[in-house]
Structure 1
Amino acid sequence: MSDLNRVYLFSAHKSNFSSAVFSTYLQAKDWIESHHLSGILIEYPLDQSCYDWAINEGHFKEKTPIDRAPVFIAKFVSAYQRNWHFEHGDLLVHTDV
């Protein structure tokens, strides 16, 4: 994904919703570090669902009818999305597929 077509969402541990969205990784990282936060930062495609992005990038192929079901699409997040795990503001794990 290019810089112009992605955003970064931060979700705290055990949270049901994201608490922040940033246009750059560095802005997100600085905010997380400055507040000593624990959670996950995930890169999301902008103006496109994770489901459609994964299909368009060749990371996911529909195999069964459930793969096209609204409940599946609504909850879909790809393992190919870059993500960073923070604990008390420190970067622990970075997944860059």
Structure 2
Amino acid sequence: MSDLTSVYLFSAQKSNFSSAVFSNYLQAKDWIENNYLSGVLIEYPLDQSCYDWAINTGHFKEKTPIDRAPVFIAKFVSAYQRNWHFEHGELLVHTDV
């Protein structure tokens, strides 16, 4: 059984989909740097949605009916998820809320 609680997804600039998933930050960072990639690396909770994670951690509270709408939940990503922005393999911005 694994103790893994999150994964790291990399999405290139102007891409609609992620191109890589890593089990730890250092592997992801090395891959991004070695390939001189530009994009964002985001930590995602494992085995739960970003929406549920944000509610369970107190980072989001439902205020209106739209907050429970399928279209809202399906597109939800929390600003409280850790993320790193890279340009040509170099770390530009790190958000660790």
- TM category (shorter chain) comes to over 0.9
* Structure 2 SS opposite 1:80: coil
Aligned to 2:36: 36
Shift of 1:90: 0.2
* Structure 2 SS opposite 1:55: helix
Q: Percent identity?
A: 89
Aligned to 1:91: 91
User: RMSD in angstroms over aligned alpha carbons?
Assistant: 0.7
Distance in structure 1 (CA, Å) of the matches to 2:88 and 2:48: 31
TM-score, normalised via structure 1 length: 0.97
Distance in structure 2 (CA, Å) of the matches to 1:19 and 1:57: 27
- Please tell me whether residue 72 in structure 1 is matched to residue 53 in structure 2: no
Report runs of 4+ in structure 1 exceeding 4 Å deviation: none
Aligned to 1:46: 46
Q: State the number of aligned residues.
A: 95
Unmatched runs of 5 consecutive residues or more in structure 2: none
Distance in structure 1 (CA, Å) of the matches to 2:79 and 2:27: 23
Shift of 1:4: 1.6
- Look up the equivalent residue of 1:30 and give its one-letter code: D
- Look up the equivalent residue of 1:70 and give its one-letter code: P
Distance in structure 2 (CA, Å) of the matches to 1:90 and 1:39: 10
TM-score, normalised via structure 2 length: 0.97
Aligned to 1:8: 8
